[in-house]
Structure 1
Amino acid sequence: MRKLLLTIIASTVTALTLFGQQTYDERMQWFKDAKLGVFIHWGYYGVNGISESWSMYHQKITWEDYMKQGEQFTAENYDAEEWAQLFKSIGADYVVMTSKHHDGLALWDSKYSKLDAKDHSAAGRDLYTPFVKAVRDNGMRVGVYYSLCDWSHPDYSPITFPRNEKALRKLYPQGKTEKYWSAWQRFQHFNMNQMHELFDNYSPDLVWFDGDWEHKADEWPSRVIKDSLLSWNPNVIVNSRLNHYGDYNTPEQDPPIMAPDRPWELCMTMNSSWGYFPTDLDYKSSKYLVETLVESISKGGNLLLNIGPKPDGTIAEEQKQRLQDVGRWVKKHDEAVHGTVAGLPYGHFFGPTTLSEDKTTIYLYNFQKPSEFTTLKGVKNKIKNIRVVGSNQKLEYKVIDSAPWNEIPGIVQIYTPENIADEYVTVIAVEIEGPVELYRGIGHAVEMND
């Protein structure tokens, strides 16, 4: 136990000496620029098509039967390079994959657990290392999903379902002195060791924690974990699911109505399931996925779009098709995705907007097919040009009801013929002189006319 405490203290002290080397804003910059990421949930649960880990938690399957799925988790057609090339082609900047879900299955070859893809699945090999290499070789950032809770660890609690304790002990070998520690101390030691192993092996750019709700921050302990991660990689960023010690918000499934007050991403499934679930055919349309991406970036966030590969390592056609559809739209409208910041406040345009980083171009996103004209209000700057993104077709416009002597800029009516419509979301670029200046007044009498 003394060795464990000394290790934790040493990690914390080292981290504190490194904090000054990289400020929060510096660490977060790549993430704020990223816009689109791919989330991957891959594990035993795809074999029977059941909910990942939760099927055990809710006792819809026994622990023993859940683990037997490993016998058919073959990864025989897994091609990490093919995956990475697909993700890169759609404009993704980072990829997050489950290294270990709540069920305890590690996809890498862990020396702290025999419950891993090499020792406890038909795949019989490390599945994580090829993934990390392929993602980095294709110029994307690596995100590691890691569950803080481990429902198969013999010393973890609380557990809601019966388990074979004898079998568990064989899967999680422990040192001779650990028998003198409390169960929770043994689990903390194990947890820190696996996290350190992931950093030694992969030095991730991002850690996507999950399961933090099962214990308080001082029980994990969250502060020690965060300090340790920064000591292992001073550039790493962490999602919000490390009680009070995350760097960015992680809303799930539904886009937030109001944007969080710090960097954020929306994680969202394509259907209703995170892992591969062959009977779940309730897929969201490609148009809706593009609209969700637009809604996220217009509020300064990212979209982390999930897929669940099959047990053999292939990606279902329904999921691949949607990735490709989103990718085609991103490629066509890349200037209105990457290199943008959150758009105008509500009321200036009745739809999502973003701004170029220098704030001299306003991007207007139209979810419906254009008809007659599109309206932009309250922009003081002189307009230089208005065009359709993706085709550069110039659009005619006029300004009505302006009163410049009263600082009322008027209403811009942009003529938008139906033939400019994109299949999913039409984007109009309004180029202005200088950084955008907005009229935010409540309105008043004009008092005089020309």
Structure 2
Amino acid sequence: MSATLKTKAFFFSSILLSSAFFSQAHNVSDGYLKPTDPLVIQNLENWQDLKFGLFMHWGTYSQWGVVESWSICPEDESWTQRKPEHGKSYYDYVKNYENLQTTFNPRQCNPQKWADAAKKAGMKYVVFTTKHHDGFAMFDTQQSDYKITSSKTPFSKNPKADVTREIFNTFRKDGFKIGAYFSKPDWHSDNYWWSYFPPKDRNVNYDPKKYPERWNNFKNFTFNQLNEITSNYGKVDILWLDGGWVRPFHTIDPNVEWQRTIKVEQDIDMDKIGTMARKNQPGIIVVDRTVPGKWENYVTPEQAVPEQALSIPWESCITMGDSFSYVPNDNYKSSQKIIETLVKIISRGGNYLMNIAPGPNGDYDEIVYKRLSEIAGWMDKNQSAVFATRSIAPYHEGNFYYTQSKDGKTVNIFHLSDQSDYQSPSTLKFIIPENFKPKSLKVLGLSNKIHWKQNGNSIELNLPKERTQLKYSTVIQITQ
């Protein structure tokens, strides 16, 4: 992920941000341009139906159990905290970090196992880190030998060595939309972090205007890798570009703290990249994170959920644990917390991209499968209130959250609670959307007839004893 704010630690501990802070941090209030390509518009509409996706950060860094890429960035030592045993000096550390390529051998990698668990939990698209900021390619690029399929990497001898291909093919076969995460900055490339100068921060370490040939080489390198991903890996639905500091200098928003650290022009020529991607993959959604304009087709709050509904397409990317990368004994969120987060996101019109990180052995922690199984049990009963829905006022009222079917004939009301262990109350009273005229009402997961009455714009219902079997939430579905 991109450390888009110096207060990244705050994101790990907080799930709600004020809409004003959210707008400032993620550039959602200004500059959004609705796509005009009919294929992109349709793909974006279909993507908004999916609601729940799987994000996977995975690379050689999983062997050390450290944060993805960031520990090699000089400006981020304070929160990544390099361990002395991994290198006493910065340069020793980077050398040893890059040497992780020579021991990376995740033999338990089984994308079908991941896809089966994710599909049962209701996830409908996947975004995989084909390359993070450290530059290690998890696909068979021909532009660099710093890749999982290199003879330097032990896993290259495995039939599943091109894990991007294995993941995309497996998940696509199971009906998932396919997303390719790709880092625009590449800290391994000598054309980005030129070895002639020491790196100072996350940005290019030379002035591209003074060394245009070197920057042009980097632009070509990036273009060629993205051409490979969008040409050689079957149908790709989303190109998810991270590293928003690689951007035209004139797009910098001085009101956003982290953007003020960008001191030089880093125009990567997104028009050329985006046009190529659309030629290779007609209708592909392009997400040039935090760079408002025609190549940011949806916005991506990180470890955060806006407090209010947004009128533009958006997706919260949030970790199941505390970290985007694999960390031993990570603190995984409870299934109730995950479901509460999903409900809050969809009630405000967004998608939930939940990150799960495979470990160095190539598999998830066992607790991950337990969480996904628990979510699957809830999703079996309540999926009609989740998928292919849209937001509807009042969106959120007390402990009640609202969605509606796309035809407007059905409204879904989710009741959550602040308790760590949800218990459905015997009586619920809530308001209904304006001008909605209820004719029938049911509680998803309960077979008993529900007694309810309407008084003006509110409904009161009594729940039977079998309400005790409801886990995580009570979901009421009203049809007019």
Q: TM-score, normalised by structure 1?
A: 0.81
- Given candidates 437, 459, 467, the residue that maps to 1:420 is 467
What is the Cα deviation at residue 347 of structure 1?
6.9
Match of 1:209 among 224, 241, 250: 241
The RMSD of aligned alpha carbons is 2.4
Instruction: Specify which of 149, 168, 174 is matched with residue 138 of structure 1.
Output: 174
Q: CA deviation at 1:335?
A: 0.7
Structure-to-structure mapping, 1:162-201, within 5 angstroms: 182-201=213-232
Hey, what's the Cα distance between the residues in 2 that align with 1:159 and 1:247?
Answer: 35
Name the SS for the 2:414 alignment partner.
strand
Match of 1:267 among 298, 312, 317: 317
> CA 1:311–1:189 in 2, change beyond 3 Å: closer, same or farther?
same
- Max Rg structure: 1
2:351 corresponds in structure 1 to 302
Evaluate the alpha carbon distance shift between residue 397 and residue 161 of structure 1 in structure 2; reply closer, same or farther with a 3 A threshold.
farther
2:105 corresponds to 1:89? no
Match of 1:355 in 2: 404
TM-fit CA distance, 1:415: 1.6
Query: Kindly tell me: are residues 398 and 270 of structure 1, through their superposed partners in 2, closer, same or farther at Cα, counting changes over 3 Å?
Result: same
- Equivalent position of 2:155 in the other structure: 123
Structure-2 separation of matches of 1:242 and 1:232: 24
Structure 2 gap ranges (5+): 1-34, 87-92, 200-210, 252-265, 418-422
Q: What corresponds to 2:451 in structure 1?
A: 396
CA contact (8 A) 2:321 2:356 kept: no
Shift of residue 110 of structure 1?
Answer: 1.0
Give the match for residue 431 of structure 1: 479
Contact 1:222 1:243 in 2 (8 A): no
Q: Which residue of 2 aligns with 1:99?
A: 130
Letter in 1 for 2:342: L
Residue pair 1:370, 1:418 contacting (<8 A) in 2 also: no
Residue 224 of structure 1 deviates from its aligned partner by 2.5
1:323 to 372, 377, 386: 372
Instruction: Return the alpha-carbon distance in structure 1 between the equivalents of residues 180 and 58 of structure 2.
Output: 12
Using the TM superposition, give the Cα deviation of residue 413 of structure 1 relative to its aligned residue in structure 2, in angstroms.
1.2
Partner of 2:327: 277
8 Å contact kept, 2:104–2:154:
yes
C-alpha separation in 1, matches of 2:462 and 2:398:
15
Matches of 1:160 and 1:82 in 2, distance apart? 45
Q: How does 1:357-372 map to 2 (within 5 A)?
A: 357-368=406-417, 369-372=423-426
- Asked if the contact 1:388/1:427 (under 8 Å) is kept, the reply is yes
Asked if structure 2 preserves the Cα contact closer than 8 Å seen for 1:376 and 1:413, the reply is: yes
- Aligned counterparts of 1:21 and 1:249: Cα–Cα separation in 2: 18
Bigger relative contact order, structure 1 or 2 (CA pairs below 8 A, ≥6 apart): 2
1:248 maps to what in 2?
A: 298
SS at match of 1:231: helix
Q: TM-score, normalised by structure 2?
A: 0.76
Residue in 2 that maps onto 1:26: 42
* Contact 2:298-2:312 at 8 Å conserved across structures: yes
Contact 1:349 1:377 in 2 (8 A): no
CA distance in 2, matches of 1:54, 1:159: 18
Per the alignment, residue 64 of structure 2 pairs with 48
Residues 242 and 350 (structure 1 numbering): CA distance in 2 closer, same or farther, change over 3 Å?
A: closer
Aligned residue among 427, 436, 449 for 1:373: 427
Aligned pair count reads 389
- 1:136-175 CA deviation, whole Å, 9 max, x = no partner? 1111111101000000000104899958xxxxxxxxxxxx
Q: In structure 1, how many angstroms separate the alpha carbons of the residues matched to 2:175 and 2:454?
A: 44
Show the counterpart of 1:5.
Answer: none
* Identity fraction in percent: 31
Return the offset for 1:365. 0.7
Q: 1:370 deviation in Å?
A: 3.1
